[in-house]
Chains A and B, each alone.
Chain A
């Protein structure tokens, strides 16, 4: 096995992990407050990607600035989605909560296909192909930028939740819905804002991914799955857990295929574990965590 290559992959996975954390943060926030799983999370991220891409196409503003437009658009989408659909299913049995959001995932995925076409697009922005080298290590500049911005946005979201009035209301509603109602909070508005913030997170992540990976309407579902895995790994509703899980999954996906191929060759099996199967690594992590510690690494009670 090539240690240098593994290290390279680990760094690149770590950087990707920053973006994963942000995606999972959105999902975890929504779950923590409303106990609803947003099955349309990845598809909404794809909308974030396309919004940023469209702004880039029309005005030439670099995706690393125009991701803010995605955040705004996705906040509005999330707010409306909560008001129209999610709010009606909050007290339904879990089965009935899953299906409408799966339905919305189909709506988002296929409307993106109708609006922006079915083909893969990779926009060339200013930083697209540049890279830094530190010793033997090569670092993609877009990845580094996406990572740094994702971390900054994550900190802003956490700050918003800790310090602002709305953020405090959201946390209050998460802790005790009836209590928040009793002290006169408009719980429906808080829920809608919270859902909006959650989807805005994923919108930002989508915008940041535009320079890193090609866009297509159908790449959403794997991201929905990855964000679930991260949230379950970190512990449902735990925001710190979502961040830690994001890095673990990012690194595991990046080095997993190489590591397993090395393992196969080590025990003289002529098998390869291609990079296109990297999702299997995350699914194996999911199965392992569901069986060993279903409450997640940092989760408390379930």
Chain B
């Protein structure tokens, strides 16, 4: 069953590789956002989808990635291509601290959610007061267009880099899913006590999950900083952004490899269109109201996400491909 899915995926990849030749810069920009959110959703999915530990503070890691990379450029002239990995390590360390505090003391469910929110808020408030990063004004980055500085004049480069991010995350998640680690994670998600009684070191695998998830999430921060050239903790590290991150994997299908990507392809264009449409019509924020209702509706009526319906619809087609 799994082998058959590689063929359509490869086809999709080839289409995506050729597609930019036919698209306007605006549509390319939408695709860049689709990739960005698919990647973020995938990174969050590693923690929440596979281990069932909910984090509502993933904007913290994006912020760490963005600010660490930018700081390394400002202070040492270090290329973001190198800096992003250092940012990732910082984020992973902070993720591990949060994980240690949470898992070691047995915080579950809502308690852990609160811990993640608390850390994200502390991070946001501290960054908001740092003068190096322009405190309340935010930080403007003057682009020096070149490959080494991760800054490009047109959207084509960002399109391909974004696509690269998504493929990277797909490979990582697929590898995790197939490995022993992934099986242990799913086991402890389904029933923590049962998994523990069978000898799964629950603490260890939760720590691995949050470490990888934080690391991957922060890599997106480097992309964000060098795509938008403007950083402000109020938007980059807000809880609203954390919700943006989790929305797509939930709609697509939690704990699946393709769920976050399908979710992003569905939601991001709609979100972009409705955002600009409602803003022009004078109802700024209406798209967020719709998001809210969407979140409610998905959890109440389609808790397994869109992917479960797609699987049902596509199964006969794939079956005939033999």
Q: Which positions in A face B, CB cutoff 8 Å?
A: 37, 85, 88-89, 92-100, 102-107, 109-111, 113-114, 118, 217, 221, 225, 228, 232, 274, 276-277, 279-280, 283-284, 286-287, 290-291, 294
Partner of B294, one of A37, A103, A217: A103
Q: Which residue of A lies closest to B48 (CB)?
A: A95
Q: Is A85 a contact of B109 with CB atoms below 8 Å? A: no
| Secondary structure dominating the interface of B | helix
Which candidate, B16-24, B164-172, B259-267, B281-289, is the interface stretch facing chain A? B281-289
Q: Is A103 a contact of B288 with CB atoms below 8 Å? A: no
Point out the residues of chain B lying under 8 angstroms from A92, CB to CB.
Answer: 299
Could you mark each residue 262-292 of chain B with 1 if its beta carbon is under 8 Å from any beta carbon of chain A, else 0?
0000000000000000000001111011011
Q: For the complex formed, measure the closest distance between the CB of A292 and the CB atoms of chain B, giving whole angstroms.
A: 9
The size class of the interface chain B forms with chain A is: 35 or more
- Docked complex Cα distance between A96 and B250 (Å): 10
Q: For the complex formed, measure the closest distance between the CB of A90 and the CB atoms of chain B, giving whole angstroms.
A: 12
- The B35-75 residues at the A interface (CB cut-off 8 A) are 48, 52, 54, 56
- Docked complex Cα distance between A119 and B270 (Å): 27
Which candidate, B115-123, B154-162, B224-232, is the interface stretch facing chain A? B115-123
Q: Is B299 a contact of A89 with CB atoms below 8 Å? A: yes
Within 8 Å of chain A (Cβ to Cβ): is B7? no
- Provide 11 A-B residue pairs closer than 8 Å at the C-beta atoms, listed in order of the A residue: A95-B48, A105-B292, A107-B296, A110-B288, A110-B292, A113-B284, A276-B129, A280-B125, A280-B126, A287-B101, A290-B105
- Docked complex Cα distance between A217 and B240 (Å): 13
Q: Which residue of A lies closest to B254 (CB)?
A: A95
Q: For the complex formed, measure the closest distance between the CB of A220 and the CB atoms of chain B, giving whole angstroms.
A: 11
Q: For the complex formed, measure the closest distance between the CB of B61 and the CB atoms of chain A, giving whole angstroms.
A: 17
Q: Is A95 a contact of B289 with CB atoms below 8 Å? A: no
If A89-B299, A113-B285, A287-B101 touch, does A99 touch B250 (CB 8 Å cutoff)?
yes
Closest 7 CB pairs of A and B: A103-B295, A106-B292, A94-B109, A107-B292, A110-B285, A110-B288, A103-B292
- Docked complex Cα distance between A134 and B111 (Å): 43
Q: Is B300 a contact of A88 with CB atoms below 8 Å? A: yes
Point out the residues of chain B lying under 8 angstroms from A109, CB to CB.
Answer: 288
- Docked complex Cα distance between A106 and B296 (Å): 10
- Docked complex Cα distance between A275 and B119 (Å): 18
Q: Is B300 a contact of A85 with CB atoms below 8 Å? A: yes
Point out the residues of chain A lying under 8 angstroms from B175, CB to CB.
Answer: none
Q: Is A286 a contact of B105 with CB atoms below 8 Å? A: no
Point out the residues of chain A lying under 8 angstroms from B105, CB to CB.
Answer: 290-291, 294
If A107-B292, A110-B292, A286-B118 touch, does A98 touch B284 (CB 8 Å cutoff)?
no
Q: Is A294 a contact of B296 with CB atoms below 8 Å? A: no
Q: Is A100 a contact of B296 with CB atoms below 8 Å? A: yes
- Docked complex Cα distance between A92 and B299 (Å): 10
Q: Is B296 a contact of A114 with CB atoms below 8 Å? A: no
Point out the residues of chain A lying under 8 angstroms from B76, CB to CB.
Answer: none
Could you mark each residue 97-140 of chain B with 1 if its beta carbon is under 8 Å from any beta carbon of chain A, else 0?
00001000111111101110111011001101100000000000
Within 8 Å of chain A (Cβ to Cβ): is B209? no
Q: For the complex formed, measure the closest distance between the CB of B133 and the CB atoms of chain A, giving whole angstroms.
A: 15
Q: Is B111 a contact of A294 with CB atoms below 8 Å? A: yes
Q: Which residue of B lies closest to A228 (CB)?
A: B114
- Docked complex Cα distance between A92 and B54 (Å): 14
Q: Which residue of A lies closest to B107 (CB)?
A: A290
Within 8 Å of chain A (Cβ to Cβ): is B29? no
Q: Which positions in B face A, CB cutoff 8 Å?
A: 48, 52, 54, 56, 101, 105-111, 113-115, 117-119, 121-122, 125-126, 128-129, 239-240, 243, 246, 250, 283-286, 288-289, 291-296, 299-300, 303
Q: Is A225 a contact of B56 with CB atoms below 8 Å? A: no
Q: Which residue of B lies closest to A95 (CB)?
A: B54
Most buried by B among A92, A99, A100: A99
Q: Is A283 a contact of B285 with CB atoms below 8 Å? A: no
Q: Is A100 a contact of B300 with CB atoms below 8 Å? A: yes
Q: For the complex formed, measure the closest distance between the CB of B81 and the CB atoms of chain A, giving whole angstroms.
A: 34
- Docked complex Cα distance between A221 and B237 (Å): 14
Point out the residues of chain B lying under 8 angstroms from A277, CB to CB.
Answer: 125-126, 129
Q: Is A294 a contact of B107 with CB atoms below 8 Å? A: yes
Q: Which residue of B lies closest to A273 (CB)?
A: B129
- Docked complex Cα distance between A110 and B290 (Å): 9
Q: Is B291 a contact of A103 with CB atoms below 8 Å? A: yes
Point out the residues of chain A lying under 8 angstroms from B286, CB to CB.
Answer: 110, 114
Q: Is B296 a contact of A95 with CB atoms below 8 Å? A: no
If A94-B109, A103-B294 touch, does A225 touch B300 (CB 8 Å cutoff)?
no
Point out the residues of chain B lying under 8 angstroms from A294, CB to CB.
Answer: 105-107, 111
Q: For the complex formed, measure the closest distance between the CB of B277 and the CB atoms of chain A, giving whole angstroms.
A: 14
- Docked complex Cα distance between A291 and B246 (Å): 26
Q: Is B289 a contact of A106 with CB atoms below 8 Å? A: yes
Q: Is B110 a contact of A37 with CB atoms below 8 Å? A: yes
Q: Which residue of B lies closest to A221 (CB)?
A: B239
Partner of A291, one of B101, B250, B291: B101
Q: Which residue of A lies closest to B114 (CB)?
A: A228
Q: Is A95 a contact of B114 with CB atoms below 8 Å? A: no
If A105-B292, A106-B292, A232-B114 touch, does A96 touch B299 (CB 8 Å cutoff)?
yes
Q: For the complex formed, measure the closest distance between the CB of B3 and the CB atoms of chain A, giving whole angstroms.
A: 32
Most buried by A among B246, B284, B291, B296: B296
Point out the residues of chain A lying under 8 angstroms from B121, CB to CB.
Answer: 225, 279-280, 283
Point out the residues of chain B lying under 8 angstroms from A280, CB to CB.
Answer: 121-122, 125-126
Known contacts A279-B121, A290-B115; can you find 18 more A-B pairs with CB under 8 A? A37-B110, A98-B113, A99-B250, A103-B291, A106-B240, A106-B292, A107-B292, A110-B289, A113-B285, A114-B284, A114-B289, A118-B285, A279-B125, A284-B122, A286-B115, A290-B114, A294-B106, A294-B111
